[in-house]
Amino acid sequence: MSEFAESVNWSPLFISLKAGILATIIAFFVGILAARWVMKLSSRMKWIVDGILTLPLVLPPTVAGFFLLLLFSLKRPLGKYLWTTWGVKVVLSFSGCVIAASVIAFPLMYRNARAAFEQVDVNMIYAARTLGMSEKKIFWKVVVPIAAPGIASGTVLAFARALGEYGATSMLAGNILGKTQTIAVAIASEVAAGNMDEAGFWVAIIITISFVIVFIINMVSGKGMKQIKRW
């Protein structure tokens, strides 16, 4: 096993971790801000916007990847603009891995954040307003800390989803060893090639990483919940 591990190209692990971390950071802030924005909308608009933002969660990842490919293709306005103006190429690049993972992970972060915000006692918000706090400060200093356990759960789910993303990533970023081949893509490639030992190795790696991350976040969420109950 040690000889096998020494011969393995570890780039899929590093690419997956880098893409997963960056995608989680993007989904974290965009998801929180989107949840805050949606909660301020009217009931009718809220359901419409919520449905649009949740679409990547219910659509097959390959469908999301298809739309991303159309959006960022060099033949399309946005993709062409990014390439000619900024020299940024999304298709078949590491940026494509990050964008694909962010889009797929975003709904999990958004929905968990929104559910956590809806559980916040409005009396806490009213009390903060009477103290003269601005809406922005109330959100970041009162609402977010109280909703921390739900936000933490959304974060770990978003990371796990980004780490294991395959469909949209393979469509947008492709399967380039050392550049865009993530663990999920590597597993599919090894299985297709009949290399079950290599595929099993990567499966064991991603299961171990996922378990460790979930365990750590559960500890953080548990401590946050205890603090809220004590308060």
Query: Angle at which helices 183-192 and 11-39 pack, to 10 degrees?
Result: 130
**pLDDT above 90: residue 84:** no
Q: What's the pLDDT at 226?
A: 54
Lowest mean pLDDT among 112-116, 156-160, 226-230: 226-230
- Rounded alpha-carbon distances, angstroms, from residue 102 to 27, 34, 105, 136, 228: 6, 14, 5, 25, 30
Q: Tell me the three state secondary structure of residue 164.
A: coil
Q: With 70 as the cut, is the pLDDT of residue 221 above it?
A: no
Note the pLDDT of residue 1. 47
Query: Mean per-residue pLDDT for 44-62?
Result: 88
Residue 224 scores a pLDDT above 80: no
Q: What pLDDT shows up at residue 223?
A: 55
Q: What is the mean pLDDT of residues 51-69?
A: 89
Phi/psi of residue 191, each to 5°? Answer: -65, -45
Mean pLDDT to the nearest integer, 80-85: 87
Helical axes 196-230 vs 11-39, angle rounded to 10°: 40
Sorting pLDDT into bands at 50, 70 and 90, what band is 30? very high
Write the pLDDT tens digit of every residue in 162-212: 988 888 998 998 888 888 899 999 898 889 888 888 888 888 988 888 788
> If you average pLDDT over every residue of the chain, what do you get?
85
Q: What DSSP designation does 177 have? A: T
pLDDT tens column, 89-130: 888 899 999 999 999 999 999 999 998 888 888 888 888 888
Residue 228 has what pLDDT?
Answer: 45
Pairwise CA distance, residues 162 & 20, whole Å: 5
CATH superfamily of 2-230: MetI-like (1.10.3720.10)
Q: Is the pLDDT of residue 227 over 60?
A: no
Could you give the CA distance from residue 147 to residue 12 in angstroms, rounded to a whole number?
Answer: 34
